[in-house]
Structure 1
Amino acid sequence: MPVPDSFKEGLASGWKTYNGSRLEQDLTLEADVAIIGSGAGGGTTAEILSQAGFKVLLIEEGPLKTSSDFKMQEPEAYGELYQEGMGRMSKDGAITIMQGRAVGGTTLVNWTSSFRTPDGTLQHWADEYGVKGHGVAEMAPWFARMEERLGVAPWALPPNANNEVIRRGCDKLGLHWKVIPRNVRGCWNLGYCGMGCPTNAKQSMLVTTIPQALNHGGELLYLARAQRLLLSGDQVSGIECVGMDERCVQPNGRKILVKAKHYVLAGGGINSPALLMRSAAPDPHQRTGQRTFLHVVNFSAALFDEVINPFYGAPQSIYSDHFQWDDGISGRMSYKLEVPPLQPAITATLLGRFGVDNALRMEQLPHTNVMLALMRDGFHPDSAVGKVELRGDGSPVLDYQMTDYTWDGIRRAYHTMAEIQFAAGAKAVLPLHADADYVPTLAKARELIDNLSLEIYRTRLGCAHVMGGCGMSEDPKLGVTDSLGRHHQLRNLSIHDGSLFPTSIGANPQLSIYGLTAQLASQLAERLAGGK
């Protein structure tokens, strides 16, 4: 029996939406609040403001795809649901950047891991960046509210074999591990979360906050790229958008002008600062696009006699923070340990090599585990850091410069992952690096890892968490916005997304964005209602 497509049912009931690829003429739209981006920040903001009685307009560059469109096929999903067709890279091409680009944003394609912002991170922001109102006690009720709203709870089923490697290896070595909270309800345990949830179990913005906003009179414009903000003095007077073709590759010539009383940027850590830069928004202290972080990750593969089938089951259900804070908040580079799901196309890229070598590695996929180490960047002055730049056509690119400090964390993480994998029973381990091959013992792995030349292109690097670029601070010299997400120079512009983070957070960021933007949107609703 097919699963009902709740979003299409809502469309049939009369929700007001505009498809930028099918406009027959230019368009002008008006709203109380225009929100650019429909992911964790934009969707949460839209629900809260619409429930408070404001007419909201959500603007999304990507397409509208719903549960009946999700076929668990990599070729279609990556091209339709990800920024640059899953081809977004750092400026030097060394780091793959996985970000969603469709109605629902990255919440549509993430792996559902949901963590509160670590206490030490919140304290660091207050101490180092003058952030106010977001301490542990102040944020706790907002996290609780969004956990309840989105069904966030520790995964109750046994971990799949890919995640079991972390649990078993950590137990053998006496290392800390825990179960990951996931934002799902009635999950079928398919394992294809990165391609959109065909059962609507994942509580993404597509099935939660966006429908609620549309039910309360909100409107949705999709396949429309926000090109620039129109500025008048210290205010935004409008947004110039362009319609995109159905594949979201090229503008189709249609123009959409959006007029609102208040504007909210929620495009994420690359797109939000890029829009400000394209708009020549005031930036007297040169903060826009600076200090953008990735939680850059490296990987380690392992072969087991047992069947792992790492493409089935909840993608992430076990993690270890044993090494995440082992040298204090600003000590040596530290990292969180998780696993990625391993569908064939993405795995072929991860495992590397070409031709017969790659085919032989892929032949062993059913017996392969891969671990990842998520680097906590931004807490130390020598950490790798990124900055958003504009290409000649105005599109954004992130220049992320690796450092010796970060490479040290990468090497130690290779050692840690190999130790855990062998402790869990692996018969061979492969650090995912161009110069590495499978080795059968921990001693050989240690020798191999110590002798690897850690450099871009040779070391396989990726990321799925983009943070910063519009950091918040009460001091305009340190941040683009204040602690309420209000742009320091533009009175009717707020930012509600992960670009507000002054550093990375050291955990998968979606719940941090949900909690923070729920707080900021609620405060914004009060200010707008009071006419302040």
Structure 2
Amino acid sequence: MSQIRDPIREGLTRGWQVLGGALGTVPEKVVCDVAIVGSGAGAGITAELLAKAGLKVVMIEEGPLKSSTDFHQKESEAYPQLYQESAARKTEDKAINILQGRCVGGSTTVNWTSSFRTPGPTLQFWQENFGLADYSVEALAPYFAQAEKRLNILPWLTPPNENNDLLRRGAAKLGIQAATISRNVKGCWNIGSCGLGCPTNAKQSMLVTTIPAALDLGAQLLTETRVESFELANGKVTALHCRSVMPNGAPALAGRAQSATKVVAKHYVLAGGAINSPGVLLRSGAPDPHGLLGARTFLHPVVMSSAVFAQKVEAWNGAPQTIYSDHFLATQAIDGPIGYKLEAPPLHPIIFASTVPGMGQSQQELLKTFPNNHTLLALLRDGFHSESRGGKVKLRGDGSAVLDYPLTGYVMDGARRALLSMMEIQFAAGARQVLPLHEMAQPYTSWVQARDALNALPMKPMLTKVVSAHVMGGCGLAGQEKLGVIRPDGVHWQLENLSIHDGSIFPTSIGANPQLSIYGTVNRLAQGLARRLTGLDVALA
């Protein structure tokens, strides 16, 4: 794909201020107006807006700077280069595998482009339970609209691939409504390798939109640089301390680069993502008078059902997620039994083989069906019930952050219902066999057989396969200090020059893929921050 421009390499040639790793030694001390920890959805939006306001901005990213030239559609390259813990980050008990980005652009560089505004029922719950009176559909709408225009978020008009159309057809036969997903793409080639980094720069991630815009305005980017902790005094952050790391996150080799860096700023924005952002604050000994830091960290726990069809599905080919169903959210009271959103994920060999159950001959037989395989996933909407309090970010002995996430009976009841729903849809779409991803399950050849078998299976962690690509909460927004870590304007309740602008600010899970929720909410917070720091009104363009 040599004919495709690489805007990152072009920017580096123009003289962008980017240091770290092979791009140059990071100095011992950096001074700026605003230091932004991270480079994902919240960091990118914030960096562009603050740079537009004329502030000297420095972004600090633990992962490497990779671009379209480096994206070869190979899982063996993408996972270790672009994901936290080589796409194998897990909860403390190893019961849930978590996909999170660890590169410039963060998870926006590797996500599947699904874009939903924060659902109205979620915002209403926040208003009623967390004192967020101004977090309404109407109040956020203009900020969502700006983000959607800036990132080309539009309904996907190309016909869905077979993988997604099976969800549409199966749901239609059962009278279940399904709809088209909006995507943040421009000139998409419909290749299907979004999760491995977009080789054509069609995905409008932070990597090719807000971060280049900020760098063109004079912002600085430090890559392969891990933020260890904040230095705190008298209710303020006085500095942050960083350390150089290798592209895979290991400590930098002696002599390869400056090992330690101190960044001094007037204001600090923490946007390292849920798990990492609470981790930085915990390592810093940040004030936490109400014991809320790292608590109420939410996933969308995901369960999956794998089906085999007579025809080729080729779930790796074409736009990855373009059809969804909210039927099992809309028909479920938000504070009742857990509801779930249905989507059809793409399949690639390593992710498929490492997710499906079994070993030896049984797994070999399943892997043979790969071209004809179709998988549905259910995003469980956690955080709205007294029995769904999510998890807690803690520190390991070495200071690294880990998420403790108990899978309660309440959540696992939802997992059982979601698996039943997905299997029924797959059989309605014409599946020859269906396998719910559970270690004790077998391939089933009829809906009645599958239903009866699943109802008899124990829904327990480690037996039921649970994954997630969405981490939220741990530094929650609230209108009162006793209810959250940060104020409604994004500023830390106890640290006056620290804002948090990422998915960790959500008081519950979103109930939908969260990237647009981060874009819209942080757009509002960052505009307010720019106004307070400079007196200027800036907006995404």
How many angstroms apart in 2 are the aligned matches of 1:219 and 1:502? 31
**1:68 corresponds to 2:69:** yes
**1:97 corresponds to 2:95:** no
Please tell me whether the aligned partners of residues 302 and 369 of structure 1 are also in contact (alpha carbons under 8 angstroms): yes
Question: Partner of 2:362 in structure 1?
Answer: 357
How many angstroms apart in 2 are the aligned matches of 1:227 and 1:458? 36
For each residue in 1:79-103, what CA deviation from the matched residue of structure 2 results, as whole angstroms up to 9, or x when unmatched? 0100011121000001000000000
CA 1:457–1:156 in structure 2 vs 1: closer, same or farther (change >3 Å)?
Answer: same
CA 1:22–1:530 in structure 2 vs 1: closer, same or farther (change >3 Å)?
Answer: closer
Question: Partner of 2:165 in structure 1?
Answer: 164
How many angstroms apart in 1 are the aligned matches of 2:438 and 2:25? 50
How many angstroms apart in 2 are the aligned matches of 1:219 and 1:468? 28
How many angstroms apart in 2 are the aligned matches of 1:289 and 1:24? 33
**Is the deviation greater in 73-82 or in 376-385?**
376-385
Instruction: Give, in angstroms, the shift of residue 353 of structure 1.
Output: 1.3
Runs of 4+ in 1 over 6 A off after TM superposition: none
Instruction: Give, in angstroms, the shift of residue 248 of structure 1.
Output: 2.1
One-letter identity of the residue aligned with 1:36 = V
Instruction: Give, in angstroms, the shift of residue 384 of structure 1.
Output: 5.3
One-letter identity of the residue aligned with 1:255 = A
Please tell me whether the aligned partners of residues 21 and 244 of structure 1 are also in contact (alpha carbons under 8 angstroms): no
- Percent identity between matched residues is 52
CA 1:24–1:160 in structure 2 vs 1: closer, same or farther (change >3 Å)?
Answer: closer
Question: Partner of 1:50 in structure 2?
Answer: 51
How many angstroms apart in 2 are the aligned matches of 1:180 and 1:295? 18
For each residue in 1:44-68, what CA deviation from the matched residue of structure 2 results, as whole angstroms up to 9, or x when unmatched? 0000110111111010000000110
For each residue in 1:8-62, what CA deviation from the matched residue of structure 2 results, as whole angstroms up to 9, or x when unmatched? 0011001001114676575211111000010000000000110111111010000
How many angstroms apart in 2 are the aligned matches of 1:88 and 1:418? 28
Question: Partner of 1:259 in structure 2?
Answer: 264
TM-score using structure 1 length:
0.98
Residue 275 of structure 2: SS of its match in structure 1? helix
Structure 2 gap segments, 5+ residues each: 537-541
How many angstroms apart in 2 are the aligned matches of 1:346 and 1:58? 31
How many angstroms apart in 2 are the aligned matches of 1:485 and 1:99? 23
Paired residues for 1:120-519 under 5 Å: 120-252=121-253, 254-383=259-388, 385-519=390-524
Question: Partner of 2:40 in structure 1?
Answer: 39
One-letter identity of the residue aligned with 1:172 = K
How many angstroms apart in 1 are the aligned matches of 2:86 and 2:251? 13
Q: What is the alpha-carbon root mean square deviation over aligned residues?
A: 1.2
One-letter identity of the residue aligned with 2:61 = E
Question: Partner of 1:59 in structure 2?
Answer: 60
Residue 345 of structure 2: SS of its match in structure 1? coil
Aligned mate of 2:529, from 500, 524, 527:
524
One-letter identity of the residue aligned with 1:186 = G
Residue 481 of structure 2: SS of its match in structure 1? coil
Residue 281 of structure 2: SS of its match in structure 1? helix
How many angstroms apart in 1 are the aligned matches of 2:389 and 2:289? 24
Please tell me whether the aligned partners of residues 161 and 310 of structure 1 are also in contact (alpha carbons under 8 angstroms): yes
Instruction: Give, in angstroms, the shift of residue 422 of structure 1.
Output: 0.6
One-letter identity of the residue aligned with 1:504 = S
One-letter identity of the residue aligned with 1:329 = I
One-letter identity of the residue aligned with 1:492 = N
Residue 165 of structure 1: SS of its match in structure 2? helix
How many angstroms apart in 2 are the aligned matches of 1:246 and 1:334? 39
Residue 183 of structure 2: SS of its match in structure 1? strand
Instruction: Give, in angstroms, the shift of residue 167 of structure 1.
Output: 0.3
Please tell me whether the aligned partners of residues 501 and 522 of structure 2 are also in contact (alpha carbons under 8 angstroms): yes
One-letter identity of the residue aligned with 1:488 = W
How many angstroms apart in 1 are the aligned matches of 2:439 and 2:58? 47
**Is the deviation greater in 121-130 or in 240-249?**
240-249
How many angstroms apart in 2 are the aligned matches of 1:347 and 1:256? 40
TM-score using structure 2 length:
0.97
How many angstroms apart in 2 are the aligned matches of 1:246 and 1:320? 38
One-letter identity of the residue aligned with 1:446 = R
One-letter identity of the residue aligned with 1:47 = E
CA 1:29–1:362 in structure 2 vs 1: closer, same or farther (change >3 Å)?
Answer: same
One-letter identity of the residue aligned with 1:17 = V
Please tell me whether the aligned partners of residues 478 and 488 of structure 2 are also in contact (alpha carbons under 8 angstroms): yes
Please tell me whether the aligned partners of residues 237 and 495 of structure 2 are also in contact (alpha carbons under 8 angstroms): yes
Instruction: Give, in angstroms, the shift of residue 132 of structure 1.
Output: 3.2
Residue 289 of structure 1: SS of its match in structure 2? coil
Please tell me whether the aligned partners of residues 51 and 218 of structure 2 are also in contact (alpha carbons under 8 angstroms): yes
For each residue in 1:420-471, what CA deviation from the matched residue of structure 2 results, as whole angstroms up to 9, or x when unmatched? 0011111111101101111110000101110111111111110000000000
One-letter identity of the residue aligned with 2:322 = S
**Is the deviation greater in 301-310 or in 355-364?**
355-364
How many angstroms apart in 2 are the aligned matches of 1:25 and 1:368? 47
One-letter identity of the residue aligned with 1:328 = A
Please tell me whether the aligned partners of residues 384 and 401 of structure 1 are also in contact (alpha carbons under 8 angstroms): no
**Is the deviation greater in 110-119 or in 379-388?**
379-388
Structure 1 gap segments, 5+ residues each: none
How many angstroms apart in 1 are the aligned matches of 2:42 and 2:27? 28
How many angstroms apart in 1 are the aligned matches of 2:111 and 2:361? 32
Please tell me whether the aligned partners of residues 81 and 247 of structure 2 are also in contact (alpha carbons under 8 angstroms): no
Matched length: 531
Please tell me whether the aligned partners of residues 387 and 398 of structure 1 are also in contact (alpha carbons under 8 angstroms): yes
Please tell me whether the aligned partners of residues 132 and 483 of structure 1 are also in contact (alpha carbons under 8 angstroms): no
How many angstroms apart in 1 are the aligned matches of 2:81 and 2:42? 21
How many angstroms apart in 2 are the aligned matches of 1:162 and 1:125? 35
